[in-house]
Amino acid sequence: MNQTIINDFSLLCRLFGNLFYRSPTDPILAGTFAWLAQGGLRSNWALSTDTQSDQALTTLEKGANPTQLAVSYQDLFANNGAIATTISAYGLNVNDFVAFRQQRGMPELDTPDHIALLLLTASWIEDNLASTQAQQTLFETFLLPCLSKFLGKVEAFDTGFYKALAQLTRDALSAMADELEESEEELHD
């Protein structure tokens, strides 16, 4: 497996997971928004870009203003927001997700029923386990079934920063799914 893509994938999952998980005004994200505005994601974007992904990167750079994004975040993802952020809302069993994490020795979560934790789990697996099988199971059982629905809703409800974030998340997941499929094929050859 290509180590650069793996490391980049971990970074992207951590970044995207935190941007979906935390309000933009969360102090933890202050440096992240400055980094985005300065083109940090573009300079670290390891995937090939097309017109759509280039536009999405530009939208993130120009829209990286936490104060302005706070209203959009609340409208989209808050308790009464337009888009459900819970894993259970997309038909997945949260107890199965918790069991998956426990079987791999991952830290316990206070509230595991959140979409962004799937992305953060993918990052943790990349950083801490040398297990393509764990990543494949996460993708097939949780990440792709849940995130494909969630990202589609974000793309339908938003026209700015979060739509661009959803598009780039989808690109990263697609690239990693391809990597995992290639690894599986290599094992069977």
Q: Along the chain (189 residues), what's the average pLDDT of each consecutive run of 10 residues?
A: 57 94 95 96 88 95 95 92 95 96 94 96 89 90 95 94 96 87 65
Angstrom distance (rounded) from CA 127 to CA 138: 14
pLDDT of residue 4: 43
122 neighbors 9 (Cβ within 8 angstroms): yes
146 neighbors 90 (Cβ within 8 angstroms): yes
How many residues are recorded in the chain? 189
pLDDT of residue 188: 57
161 neighbors 69 (Cβ within 8 angstroms): yes
Query: HSE on the CB side for 21, CA within 13 Å?
Result: 20
pLDDT of residue 189: 52
94 neighbors 84 (Cβ within 8 angstroms): no
Domain ranges, ordered by start, for the chain: 3-188
pLDDT of residue 8: 79
pTM of the model: 0.91
Looking at domain 3-188, does it have CATH number 3.40.50.150? no
> SS3 of 108, please?
coil
